[in-house]
């Protein structure tokens, strides 16, 4: 039962983090050159993993796999957002 609950939490977290990170990179970091470098997804994913690894002992249901999944989702979100910027497929955002 705990495995199924942990898997569901990790899956939902990965989907939300990937989409949020991709949208943030595409909309807010469009003109930041460092995001276009190859190291940016690795750095963002590693930072997300480290933050998740610190929080894992505090949460009873999730484990280190959830932290690893979160780091992977953030890293792929940064890479996908940077790829959207390079392709020119980023939408124009109006307003704040």
pLDDT in tens, the chain (96 residues): 888 988 999 999 999 999 999 999 998 998 899 999 999 999 999 999 999 999 998 988 888 999 999 999 999 999 999 999 988 876 655 545
- Whether residue 26 is contained in a domain is answered as yes
The domain tally of the chain equals 1
Residue 47 domain boundaries = 2-87
- Whether residue 96 is contained in a domain is answered as no
- Whether residue 95 is contained in a domain is answered as no
- Whether residue 73 is contained in a domain is answered as yes
Token pair, residue 59, equals 């949460």
Task: Single out the residue of 83, 68, 80 nearest to residue 7, CA to CA.
Answer: 68
- Indicate the pTM of the whole model: 0.87
Q: At 3, is the secondary structure helix, strand, or coil?
A: helix
Using a 10 angstrom Cβ sphere, with 0-12 exposed, 13-18 middle and 19 or more buried, the burial of residue 40 is buried
Residue 95: what pLDDT? 47
Residue 42: what pLDDT? 97
């Amino acid at each position: 039962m705990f495995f199924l609950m942990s898997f569901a939490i990790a899956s939902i977290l990965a989907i939300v983090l990937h989409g949020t990170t991709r949208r943030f990179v595409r909309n807010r970091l469009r003109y930041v050159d460092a995001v276009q470098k190859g190291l940016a997804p690795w750095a963002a994913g590693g930072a997300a993993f480290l933050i998740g690894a610190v929080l894992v002992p505090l949460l009873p249901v999730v484990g280190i796999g959830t932290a690893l999944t979160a780091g992977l989702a953030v890293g792929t979100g940064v890479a996908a957002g940077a790829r959207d910027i390079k392709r020119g497929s980023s939408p124009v955002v109006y307003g704040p």
